[in-house]
Amino acid sequence: MINKKYLKNLRCKEINNKNDFIYDLYSERIVDSLEIISLNFKNILILGDHGTNIYKYILKRYKDSLITICDFKKINPKYNKFDNFTDNNINLDLWKNEPKNYNLIISNFFLNFTDDISFVLNKIITSLIPNGFFIATLPAQKNFNELKSAMIKTDIELYGGAYNRFNKVIELPQIIELLKKNHFKIPLVNLEEINLEYKNFHKLLLDIRSMNSSYYYKDKKKNFEKKQYFELLKKNYKVNNDNNFVLTTNFYIISGWKNHHSQQKPLKPGEAKNNLKNFF
């Protein structure tokens, strides 16, 4: 089970509003997807205060839209000056949504902070109006593999075994199944990869820390690691030929629509007017 008290404290740390570097890389993928959609979304919900690039894009493109941000904490104060911004604290596992209220729902690395993602996806689909659009990013299984490998090796050397340090992630087949189960139309799941290099190991750890990627389940190791741990972790960490620290982030971009009569429907067997072999 997720330790919600610890997670809330983790996300309320001031560091989260100072360093959105990796989050904004994910945000760019969301923005790219929205760019090809011509609809003018009037009521927008953002689940998770992650990635200033998303806010900037929405404020520029959807100037007259109402925008709501939900998180465990208050949003970045610099957005309080906009009249069309509102914010709410939220516990995803107890979310009381507003049915058929939003045209667009965006989530950037936030849906993974729940014990029941199917419940949250159901709340999202019911919150959308017909022809409403949902798009989100989620961590994949191999996200930050270099860090995981180094931490396991460091744990074994210091403690003779590895602690649980890596949060659970949802697998690709399960994502597809849940999107279909919750009646998302035209569901899409893309696996993305971004490769980063750091000359400074402390900067790498700072970027990771700003993402709330610390292990947040109830069996979390109680005491904090000392300087010795991080010195050994650096020694065990993978470097490339340029002696830079390598960090690979793998993540999913998932999306889907609320059903609407205007959406293209697949043909039933026997309804096609042309035979496929005629085109080859």
Q: Which segment of 43-57, 65-79, 171-185 scores lowest on mean pLDDT?
A: 65-79
Residue 275 resides in a domain:
no
| pLDDT at 279 (0 to 100) | 43
Q: In the predicted model, is pLDDT for residue 71 greater than 70?
A: yes
| pLDDT at 120 (0 to 100) | 94
pLDDT band with cut points at 50, 70 and 90 for residue 103: very high
pLDDT band with cut points at 50, 70 and 90 for residue 52: confident
Q: Which segment of 52-56, 132-136, 224-228 scores lowest on mean pLDDT?
A: 52-56
Q: Which segment of 87-91, 249-253, 260-264 scores lowest on mean pLDDT?
A: 260-264
Residue 174 resides in a domain:
yes
| pLDDT at 80 (0 to 100) | 56
Rounded to whole angstroms, the maximal C-alpha distance in the chain is 70
168's tokens: 């659970």
More confident residue, 247 or 84: 247
| pLDDT at 76 (0 to 100) | 59
Residue 252 lies in domain? 14-259
Residue 133 resides in a domain:
yes
| pLDDT at 270 (0 to 100) | 58
Q: In the predicted model, is pLDDT for residue 81 greater than 60?
A: no
Mean pLDDT computed over every residue of the chain: 85
| pLDDT at 280 (0 to 100) | 45
Q: In the predicted model, is pLDDT for residue 129 greater than 90?
A: yes
Residue 269 resides in a domain:
no
| pLDDT at 11 (0 to 100) | 72
> What span, in angstroms and rounded, lies between the C-alpha atoms of 228 and 131?
54
Residue 4 resides in a domain:
no
Q: How many C-beta atoms lie closer than 10 Å to residue 20's C-beta?
A: 23
Partner residues linked to 185 by β-bridges: 257
Residue 268 resides in a domain:
no
Residue 3 resides in a domain:
no
Q: For the whole model, what pTM was predicted?
A: 0.86
Q: Which segment of 65-69, 82-86, 116-120 scores lowest on mean pLDDT?
A: 82-86
Helices 21-35 and 52-61: crossing angle, nearest 10°? 30
> Which phi and psi angles does 216 have, rounded to 5°?
-120, 25
Q: In the predicted model, is pLDDT for residue 14 greater than 60?
A: no
∠ CA 212-242-143, rounded to 5° = 25
| pLDDT at 82 (0 to 100) | 61
Number of domains in the chain: 1
31: domain CATH number?
A: 3.40.50.150
Q: What is the DSSP string of 217-273?
A: BTT--SSPP-HHHHHHHHHHS-B-TTSPEEEEEEEEEEEEE---TTS--PPPTT--S
Distances 226 to 219, 223, 234 between C-alpha atoms, Å: 19, 9, 13
Residue 116 resides in a domain:
yes
Express as a percent the part of the chain with pLDDT over 70.
85
Q: What is the pLDDT of residues 136-180, one digit of tens each?
A: 999 999 999 999 999 999 999 999 999 988 888 999 999 999 999
